[in-house]
Amino acid sequence: MLPRVLMTIPIALLLLSPAMAQEPRALLDLPQLAPCGSASHPRLPKKWRGTYLMAPFTKAQLVLAEIVADAGVSAMRVKLHGVKGGSLDLFVAGNRTYVLKSEGSTVKECRALGDTGWRPLPTDWLAPQSQCTGSAPIGDTPVEWWKTAIAPEPATYWLWFKTSDQTPFRLVFPFASDHLPPFSGYALSYQVRFNALDETDLAGIDATCRQAKPRMTGNSVRTLHGLIGNLSESGPRAESEINQIMPELQADCPADPLTEWPERLAITGLMTPFDSDEAPYPAEVLYDWTVPAQRTRTFGGPEAGITAQDSLLLDPQGYTITHYRDRPPVCRPVLPGTIRPGWAARAPCECAATINGTTSLSPYGTARILVCPLASPRVAWAWYALSGRPTTFMVTSLRGDEGKRLFAVLDYRAWLPGHPFSRSVFDKPPQCAIASHSRLTQSALRRCSTCHLGPAYSR
């Protein structure tokens, strides 16, 4: 199990609080958010069908959701299919939730759960306090970036709406809630398909379910969470249903070894924070295993007077270096050494599924979805093409993490193996020479040595 400091493995300890720079500068062209096209909230059609791939907050399996919604009758049907196994068919009308049993397209049984806290999804998924922070693509999909502040402050969740049709392409939540079920019960959700409908059969299902017997005694919320939490135990994999709604999805993975980082590498990307008082900010990563060294420089953040912040990983320890506009930098020796090229296998990360071909979820060709252990129960979800090029890296959080300046997701832009740059980018400022590790930090660094260089390391 990785210690918490490794929550930023493939992007050089990105748990650090972001900070903006005038000087020092980036060596590469950084991605930026363009202005939003409109301050108006995107609105969905009254009747629609959508398919989403959802990643949990823990190491549990990926779930494929098929959702039909009808605002005219205030109802939705949510079919959940575990990528590894199990299915659950839910129907929500008003404040009533049911479990459905069907034969073919005919609903044969409704089991009433009562008021579980779930409500049918509205046509507007945003709240009055939601803000559009800008526009930039995720992979090859142009989207607008919306954040919604929630309690406890300064927590937030994020929605990315496609500029082409204003449908929700991605959702990220800091912890489970009932804000937008079923998505808010998962850390990360991606749209697979989305279509407006002329008609739905939800009014007929509602009429059938109103005849259902009263729910069994017990807590409705706990019952629903139990059914979803035990999805993998509810039956075999729904092969035909999954193949129909997402034929690109494969539950097993190629036998090829997990991709290693190149010996020399430059990366840029946009990082989305979890806290509502921050906006997405660009990052630059420079990596050279021949040194060995790695520098992640982040740009952006809410704290006045900071121009940049570096995560400088060296041999065998690392530093956070905060650059200020009007005073010398501050160096804190609180990080492990350089990340090893084979960090994914050493973690160990596991392949949770494969997306075959080139899709909006795999813009660089067939991709593996990796799940990597962090400070339990947190995990990291990473999308890597078989070529080795990444798309997304997401770190899950928990209640209580709000205000800690954690990042939610990194969207990679430039991926430049072999890119030339001077070794001087890894030079330490003189302030680092007088810093010393505490005993506790030394102990933590030893635990990091699975994926990072550290005290008494071996390459």
d(CA 344, CA 326): 40
Helices (H) and strands (E) in the chain, counts: 5, 23
d(CA 324, CA 304): 9
pLDDT digits (tens, 9 = 90+) for 386-440: 999 999 999 999 999 999 888 899 999 999 999 999 999 999 999 998 766 554 4
* CA 383 to the chain's CA centroid: 10
Write out the two tokens for 94.
């008003």
What is the sign, positive or negative, of the torsion defined by CA atoms of 25, 262, 396, 69?
A: positive
Q: Average pLDDT over the chain, rounded to whole?
A: 90
Name the nearest CA neighbour of 85 among 385, 394, 353, 380: 353
CA atoms within 13 A on the CB side of 28: 25
Q: What is the mean pLDDT of residues 257-267?
A: 94
DSSP 25: P
3-state secondary structure of 131: strand
d(CA 79, CA 92): 11
Is residue 217 pLDDT above 80, yes or no?
A: no
- CATH class given for the domain over 4-30+256-450: mainly beta
Residue 8: band (very low, low, confident or very high) from pLDDT cuts 50, 70, 90:
very low
- CATH class given for the domain over 36-246: mainly beta
3-state secondary structure of 105: coil
Q: How many beta carbons lie within 10 A of that of residue 105, not counting itself? A: 6
pLDDT digits (tens, 9 = 90+) for 110-167: 999 999 999 999 999 999 999 999 999 999 999 999 999 999 999 999 999 999 999 9
Q: What is the pLDDT of residue 446?
A: 62
Residue 454: band (very low, low, confident or very high) from pLDDT cuts 50, 70, 90:
confident
Residues spanned by CATH 2.50.20.30 within the chain? 4-30+256-450, 36-246
Q: What is the pLDDT of residue 301?
A: 59
Is residue 2 pLDDT above 50, yes or no?
A: no
Q: What is the pLDDT of residue 4?
A: 32
Spatial contact of 296 and 283, defined as CB atoms under 8 Å apart: yes
Is residue 306 pLDDT above 90, yes or no?
A: no
Long-range contacts of 200-204 (CB under 8 A, 24+ apart): 200/47, 200/68, 200/69, 200/70, 200/73, 202/68, 202/69, 202/70, 202/73, 202/75, 202/76, 202/77, 202/91, 202/93, 203/70, 203/72, 203/73, 203/75
pLDDT digits (tens, 9 = 90+) for 405-415: 888 999 999 99
